[in-house]
Structure 1
Amino acid sequence: MSFRKNLKRARGHIVFLVALVAGLLLVLWLETLGDPPQMTEGRPDTMRPFEEVTPLPLAIRGEISEQDLENARIAWTYFQNNTIEETGLANSVHNYPSTTMWETGSYVVAILSAERLGLIDAEEAETRLTSLLESLAQLRLFQDTLPNKAYHTRTLELVDYSNKPVELGLGWSALDVARIVATFGLIERRHPELAPQVEAVLNTWALDRMVQDGELIGTNVVAGEVRENQEGRVGYEQYASKAMMLFGFDVYRGYEVVDNLMVKRVEGQPIPVDTRLHRGTTPAFVVSEPYLFDGLEFGFDARSHRFATAIYRAQEARYEETGIFTAVTESHLSGEPYFAYATVWGGGSPWAVMTFQGDRIDSRRTVATKAAFGWDALFGTDYTSAMVETLQGIADPEKGWPEGIYEETGETNTSTTANTNAVVLASLAFKATGPLMREAVE
């Protein structure tokens, strides 16, 4: 029989085999077609350096020492001294009757932490939170939309940053509002009986105005004109986005980092830096604070855990290289310009200390109390323990914990604030019980 006849007889089998092979090839192609970019050679290069970062284990102890409790009592003293009885709000700085939504959120964290530590009982915590929520429900909002950037703690008037009343207001800060929204989630978790009061406040705020196309949007008043602007840079933006997600807002672009991320090496560590400019003019700042809040309040996610580890390790490495304790973040200052961002990377270089306007003032770098306590709670290394021990000498039992120690002179940065004392309390509560959003570790 000829080859041609045999081929003709076998054509059905051949068609079947060809179809089978083609089908297998199609399946393989379809399987690879759907691979996400991060699983292929197309993975964004900006995230690759963090694969080398092994997250430090969290140092939840399940207990705290007598010294820890004394440190917590000192921190709580700040709020005993600075809570305004008539309104239930707390001053952002010692004896200065002004606050923002950020500092008001810090006061909530302080109350819940003090309760976990046994410094106050559940009844006092509920009373303080109820008074605060009642005042928040009464606030005159910026253009009837969202809380103004600053309020007088006694009169609840809209004020500017010098605490003078302003009729129009300053606008709203999306990051500040998200900060207090985060603490509303903590209230509902710990005190579900207060959920109706929380929801009553939220129902008066037009939160949908500050979430647009997955991003956080704030407003500024410039020459009497109200202007909207995207808010948040890597670190703060992801913390704030988590907060809004607690209440069902879609902040997918705010939570993502890849589109706005570059990596700068500091002391051998990959540091996550935002590619967008601060105020449209200055390279963005990287500080400890948003990562401390994320870990102490929510508990890290896998990405923020790696970022935080790298940021912490860079500070530890600077100490190992120079012998200078390094715990950098944003801080109030005891003298002009009264506020600075002490950065791991900022303004285009490592270890820069920057004003909000973008001026460099490295002489004001502070070994920040809240950064030392926060990193010690989260990671509990010999280095963090040594920093906290060094700071013990600046505690003021009658006033609270000051901002820290000026690196250049060794003098105390005597400014005493709600944020620092709240972080001290949250840190010590974390050591004993873990993140505030979770059930207490027994």
Structure 2
Amino acid sequence: MSFKSNLIKARSHIIFLVALGCGLTLVTTIDNRSASAGDPQSGGQMAQFEHITPLPLAITGTSTSEDLDHARIAWRYFENNTDTTTGLVNSTDNYPSTTMWETGSYFVATIAANRLGVIDEGEAVARIGTALDTLNTMRLFDDTLPNKAYNVRTGELVNYANQPVERGLGWSALDIARMVAALAHVEANYPELAPKTSRLIERWNLASMVENGQLIGGNMIDGNLRRDQEGRVGYEQYAAKAMMLFGFDTYNAYDAQSHLMVQQVESHPIPVDTRLHRQTTPAFTVSEPYLFDGLEFGFDARSHRFATAIYSAQETRYRETGILTAVSESHIDVAPYFIYSSVWGGGAPWAVMTFSGDRMDSRRTVTTKVAFAWDALFGTDYTRELVAAVSPLGDPERGFPEGIYEADGSTNSSVTVNTNAVVLAALAFRAHGPLIRTSE
């Protein structure tokens, strides 16, 4: 094949790499400007983070035999839960529903499994390609953006009970932005899939969920669509960074200062949003968005400091109480089946909150994905203790469960796409660094 033919074939990948470079330059420029002496973010609440020395990253460049055993266990979840027709993956074990967030997690898991040698590149491309084909044909909410939930087996719009719903539930800007981040990782690692990812980005009206630099979700309320600003400190900046990679102006979403308050937890400054979570419940801070930011993009200066403080509060709690602590959002195996185990939430440290804002501290979980992710990012003596505690839970036939209930040491037996994806991403980070890097 001639050089000209190769160049034409690679044009989508070249365009993406140029856009990626511009996006990363923009994020770096904004981050540097925010840290400058004349910027408001260098004063006020942000000043409390200036004394923090970010923990060094623990990239080793290698995988141990134990790492690879853990990776194969985590990948088992995807072998068990992928629909061969649609290419989509169940959100939890044997439950055929998914969101854009969880589909993004599947793409991240596949790239990570390939980097670790658990699957070969051909399988990774085939799996992601099949899912992209489905995403490029399934119906959108109001022909605009992906619905909040889909049936894995049919690709139909569904409600949260996985029942078909004609118009849909609306869209989640955070979920879609997480999927956009995953598409960036796919294009960076598999240029042959660039035509499919580009078609998807063009098919979705992403501009309709960005307004005045903010991320806007769409929510069906009493039969009417309501547009709401979406995202809180941590999640909002991760999502904004993903959208910037594709040229969207999400500076106001990336700015953490405007809605930031600091709460001291175990003598560490914790970044907390001043706004209500989803307009209904008190704000909370969890590990999740900082783990994704570090593992996928590599920290920026601000997120590295925030992550260091959030991690350090959890280690300090353990040092002072003897209670292993690794908290984030997670599924649980009893109603209401989803909780936010916070560093700070609902007006108090270490609160565990339901979606409706009720306290459920009895279900605080030493979370598997948090243990593996902190260990990959920072590699401390404490993170190794966390991994030693949760790694025996791995089931070679099902994958890793959510973790261990703090109250009685029993297993939180829910098995999910997100937990097993983060385990794989963490193990790949240890050996290869952030996913946004092109494959070697």
Change in CA separation of 1:224 and 1:36 when aligned onto 2, cut-off 3 Å: closer
Q: Which residue of 1 aligns with 2:309?
A: 310
Q: Which residue of 2 aligns with 1:284?
A: 283
Q: Show the counterpart of 2:62.
A: 63
Q: Provide the aligned length of Structure 1 versus Structure 2.
A: 407
Q: C-alpha displacement at 1:282, in angstroms? A: 2.5
Q: Counterparts of 2:157 and 2:252 in 1: how far apart (Å)?
A: 31
Q: Aligned-pair distance for 1:130? A: 0.7
What is residue 99 of structure 1 aligned with on the other side? 98
Matched residue of 2:170: which SS? coil
Taking the aligned partners of 1:113 and 1:393, their CA distance within structure 2 comes to 21
Taking only the aligned residue pairs, the percentage that are identical comes to 63
User: What is the deviation of 1:280?
Assistant: 2.5
Stretch moving more, 195-204 or 142-151:
195-204
Counterpart for residue 205 of structure 1? 204
Report the Cα distance in structure 2 between the residues aligned to 1:282 and 1:150, rounded to whole angstroms. Answer: 22
Q: In the TM superposition, what is the alpha-carbon distance from 1:391 to its structure 2 partner?
A: 1.0
- The corresponding residue for 1:87 is 86
Per-residue deviation, 1:390: 1.1
CA contact (8 A) 1:38 1:44 kept: no
What per-residue deviation string (whole Å, max 9, x for no partner) do you get for residues 365-410 of structure 1? Answer: 0000000000000000000001101112211110000000000010
Q: Is contact 1:433–1:440 with CA below 8 Å preserved after alignment?
A: no
Following the alignment from structure 2 to structure 1, what is the Cα–Cα distance between the partners of residues 195 and 281?
43
Question: Does structure 2 conserve the Cα–Cα contact (< 8 Å) formed by 1:83 and 1:90?
Answer: yes
Cα contact 2:189–2:439 (8 A) shared by 1: no
Partner of residue 50, structure 1: 49
- Shift of residue 281, structure 1, vs aligned partner: 3.4
Q: CA deviation at 1:245?
A: 0.5
Cα distance in 1 between the residues matched to 2:100 and 2:281: 25
- The AA in structure 2 aligned to 1:107 is Y
Give the match for residue 21 of structure 1. Answer: none
Distance 1:41 1:122, change over 3 A: closer
| Partner SS for 2:219 | strand
2:122 alignment partner, SS class = helix
Could you list the runs of 5+ residues in structure 1 that have no partner in the other structure?
1-34
Equivalent-residue separation in structure 2 for 1:145 and 1:323 (angstroms): 50
Tell me what 2:164 maps to.
165
Q: Is the 8 A contact 2:188 2:439 kept in 1?
A: no
Per-residue CA distance 1:287-322 (angstroms, 9 max, x = gap): 000000000000000000000000000000000011
What is the correspondence of 1:143-162 to structure 2 with a 5 Å cutoff?
A: 143-162=142-161
SS at 1:277's partner residue? coil
Is 2:113 the partner of 1:123? no
Per-residue CA distance 1:335-385 (angstroms, 9 max, x = gap): 111000000001111000000110000000000000000000000000000
In structure 1, what is the equivalent of residue 239 of structure 2?
240
* Distance in 1 separating the partners of 2:251 and 2:394: 41
Supply the distance in 1 between the matched residues of 2:231 and 2:362 (Cα, whole angstroms): 27
Q: Secondary structure at the match of 2:285?
A: coil
1:440, distance to aligned residue in structure 2 (A):
5.6
Measure, in 1, the Cα distance between the counterparts of 2:233 and 2:430: 26
Q: How far apart, in 2, do the equivalents of 1:329 and 1:381 lie?
A: 19
Write out the 4+ residue segments of structure 1 that deviate beyond 3 Å after TM superposition: 35-38, 40-43
Residues 181-200 of structure 1: per-residue CA shift (max 9 Å, x gap): 00100011000111111011
Match of residue 220 from structure 1: 219
Match of 1:11 in 2: none
Maintained 8 Å contact 1:92/1:103:
yes
Say whether the 8 Å CA contact 1:44–1:258 is kept in structure 2: no
Distance in 2, matches of 1:383 and 1:41, equals 36
Please give the secondary structure, in 1, of the residue aligned with 2:202: helix
Q: What RMSD in Å do the two structures reach over aligned CA positions? A: 1.4
| CA spacing shift, 1:359–1:250, aligned 2, 3 Å | same
Q: Deviation at 1:438?
A: 1.5
**Other structure's SS at 2:146 match:** coil
Q: Partner amino acid for 1:228?
A: R
Q: CA deviation at 1:439?
A: 4.2
Structure 2 unmatched runs, 5+:
1-32
Contact 2:353–2:361 (8 Å) recurs in 1: yes
CA contact 1:263–1:270 (8 Å) conserved in 2: yes
1:190 maps to amino acid:
N
The match for 2:30 is none
Largest Rg, 1 or 2: 1
